[in-house]
Amino acid sequence: MAYREVKERLRGSIAPVVTPFDEEGNVDLAALTALIDWHIESGTHGISVTGTSGEPSSLTLEERKQVMEAAKKAVAGRVPFVPGTGSTNHAETIELTRFAQEIGADAAMVIVPYYNRPSQQALYKHFQAVAEAVDIPIIVYNIPGRTAVNLEVQTLARLAEDCPNIIGVKESNKDFEHVNRVLWHCGRDFLLFSGIELLCYPMLAIGGAGSISATANVVPQKVAELHDAWFAGDVKRAQDLHFELMELNDVLFIETNPGPVKAALGMMGKITPKLRLPLDLPSEENERKIRRTLVKYGLLAETPQ
């Protein structure tokens, strides 16, 4: 299978959409569909679900499939669709990635297994087996702050060499030397996506393909515009947006993602602000900070008294 066309389409802001819940804590597929429509109308270049922002570890396997299928229908081919299919469980990861292929996803994003801290050789074998189980492209998701293990550049380079459908990586590694070496060792046509908000612009500067940024949940138009400006050669505009978004980026990570993002979307009337334990909404003090920031960015009309 040729992956060139998919690689050319997977560019820009791939929004990692949250999983909305209703007041009872059930998955709200209608709200998810509305969010996806809003994203695409706002210029978002691609849609991902059931990644970190989508609380996959709080969903059952069947719920993950329901969210993926509903999202695929909502996207309706308008932009690339890249669901997160990774898990700490190897068999579940393969099952979910096969399901992504079955429903027609453009690619699958597969996280480094969390909690169990596998060795580099075990990581290689895990991702190799997942890649060999499907024909769709794979975006590896490296987020050592969540998984307690870093996928080393040499391991990723082996995978890129041995598995033709491993076409890129979402790097949520704050080490900018590491991400430079990814393109050096994996090839400069390897798709590099930023998962660190303050590295979204810098990664574009070294040849990155785009970002998969939680902030896009709240300001999809601004995040997409940053990428549009960069790809159009308007470096000054892209830089301006990078710095313009910094305060919002910081407040949306004032507590564990996606708590602040869901609080913000709740304030904006986009979703019911609900998470499943053990995650929760931010403290009252931090919610006030989030609200003040949203007002400052023009996302809310005024701060309630």
- Considering just the CA atoms, what is the radius of gyration of the chain in Å? 18
- DSSP three-state, residue 23: coil
Contact assessment for residue 184 and residue 207, using Cβ atoms and an 8 Å cutoff: no
Active site annotation includes 296: no
Q: What CA–CA distance (Å, rounded) separates 17 from 216?
A: 8
Q: What CA–CA distance (Å, rounded) separates 89 from 81?
A: 23
Catalytic member of 65, 170, 270, 274: 170
Neighbours of 290 (CB within 10 A): 26
- Residue 47 assigned ligand-binding role: no
Q: What CA–CA distance (Å, rounded) separates 291 from 251?
A: 10
CA angle 54, 279, 147 (to 5 degrees): 65
State how beta strands 191-194 and 166-171 pair.
Answer: parallel
- Residue 57 assigned ligand-binding role: no
Catalytic member of 3, 72, 124, 141: 141
Three-state SS sequence of 143-164: CHHHHCCCCCHHHHHHHHHHCC
Active site annotation includes 141: yes
Residue type, 1: M
Neighbours of 288 (CB within 10 A): 12
Q: Is the peptide bond before 304 cis (omega within 30 degrees of 0)?
A: no
- Through-space distance between the first and last CA atoms of the chain, rounded to whole angstroms: 59
List the binding residues. Answer: 53, 212
Active-site annotation, residues: 141, 170
List the binding residues for pyruvate. Answer: 53, 212
